[in-house]
Amino acid sequence: MLFKNIIGQEETKQQLVEMVQHNRLSHALLFLGKEGSGAFSLAMAFAQYVSLIPNRASSETSLFGEPVEIKLPSTAAEADAWMQKQPSFAKAEQLVHPDIHYSYPVVTKKAGTPPISTDYISEWREFFQQLPYGNIYDWLQFIGAENKQGNITAHECNDIIRKLNLKSFESGYKILVMWMPEYLGKEGNKLLKLIEEPPADTLFILIAENEGEILSTILSRCQLVKIPSLDANDIEKALLSKNACTAEQAKQIANASEGNFREALNLLQHADEDFHGLLREWLNATLKNQTIAQVKMIEEIARLGREKQKQLLKHFTHILEQAVRMQIADDILKQKLLSAMSPGEQDFVGRLNKVMGLEQKEAVAEELDKATYYIERNANAKILFHALTIKIFHIVKNNIVIA
């Protein structure tokens, strides 16, 4: 992947290129960014870039035996142009470069055989080409894991140690890209000595979403590269470049996605769904305590399927967040917020602020997060949304939070 194909993150791209240019590359980097920020894509592009750099110690010499200094790019655009001229570029781009090794959570493929990442290398290449902004849930569904928990096992750690003790084939570096080290249990301590005292010209690139779930012993040995959430303008431009929606839709989706391009793509996929109208009907039935209407709406929502149910809850959360911002904003900020909303959103936000205070909005948002969690774990939709309807009614009408 070229740097230019990654949405936004221009400052981080420049930082990475300069890190290599000025020979400040640490032997272990942790790319830390929230889902959909591009940390995954950025780390993969960086691994590709580094893999194409020849070994400085064994570089060409002049006619008189003096080493010829390798002139490396100084900008991300120059790095892209330089990469495309390298003999191993096609291999790196297709994820088949012999000196880049990949590690990621997997499940047992054959009963009785400990799983390792290479069992799924074909699926991994296809997954990254199709979903460069995908998350762990997407990956486990992609490999048909169903409800199984993915892991990076002790057997995988032994395989990593074996691979990185081999000599490099084409590159000046041997590179390990580990995606989601959060799924590395205590077995990860097997890698400590290798990370602390790696073989010459070995680079570890870890890509994570949650710093608190990584083994502290591994975390302390890595240089942190923080990847910020994407700017709404960058997401809007990326959506428009796909020619898949109108300018108004792109703006709304970019604002609703909160810096998460994966979420933006999900919202785009369901852009034709009338979640706004469905949410209005559901809340009207809930707050007016119309039992028959509530049952009808719960059955309608239950028929949507898990992904659409999650999008409905995400839309509700977004409306609540907009309502909170409008409630606490000054007049200048309110005008900016209103300009980013559609007329329907403006009306909805205004009505929510009339019936809910800040504490009530926070309590409802917490219930929506819990509901999303249970949907992902195959909870019965009718029971789940019936309970959620009751909780929202009591929170708004009686200011009671039900545990």
DSSP string, 148-200: PPPBB-HHHHHHHHHHHTSPPSSSS-EEEEEE-GGGB-GGGGGGHHHHHSPPT
Residue 300 in tokens? 């309608």
Q: What share of the chain in percent tops pLDDT 90?
A: 28
Q: Are 11 and 225 in contact (CB under 8 A)?
A: no
Banded model confidence at residue 402, pLDDT cuts 50, 70, 90: very low
What is the average pLDDT across 334-355?
Answer: 73
pLDDT at 70: 67
Average pLDDT, the chain: 84
pLDDT at 69: 60
Determine the residue type at 85. Answer: K
Lowest mean pLDDT among 2-16, 25-39, 189-203, 332-346: 332-346
How far apart CA 8 and CA 101 sit, in angstroms, is 26
CATH topology of domain 3-228: Rossmann fold (3.40.50)
pLDDT at 304: 83
Asked if residue 127 has pLDDT above 80, the reply is yes
Asked if residue 272 has pLDDT above 60, the reply is no
Asked if residue 399 has pLDDT above 70, the reply is no
Asked if residue 403 has pLDDT above 50, the reply is no
DSSP string, 303-330: TT-HHHHHHHHHHHHHHHHHHHHHHH--
Order the strands of the 223-227 sheet from edge to edge.
Answer: 100-103, 174-179, 202-208, 28-33, 223-227
Vertex 23 angle, CA 22 and 25, to 5°: 120
Greater confidence (110 vs 117) lies with 117
Lowest mean pLDDT among 154-163, 201-210, 299-308, 339-348: 339-348
Asked if residue 273 has pLDDT above 90, the reply is no
What is the average pLDDT across 381-396?
Answer: 90
Banded model confidence at residue 32, pLDDT cuts 50, 70, 90: very high
Taking the complete model, does pTM exceed 0.85, yes or no? no
What is the average pLDDT across 223-234?
Answer: 91
User: Which candidate, 323, 330, 319, places its Cα nearest to that of 368?
Assistant: 319
Burial of 93 (0-12, 13-18, 19+ CB in 10 A): middle
Asked if residue 353 has pLDDT above 60, the reply is yes
Instruction: Give per-residue pLDDT as tens, 61-105.
Output: 434 444 546 678 889 999 999 999 988 899 999 999 999 999 999
What is the average pLDDT across 193-211?
Answer: 87
pLDDT at 132: 92
Q: Are 179 and 102 in contact (CB under 8 A)?
A: yes
pLDDT at 62: 39
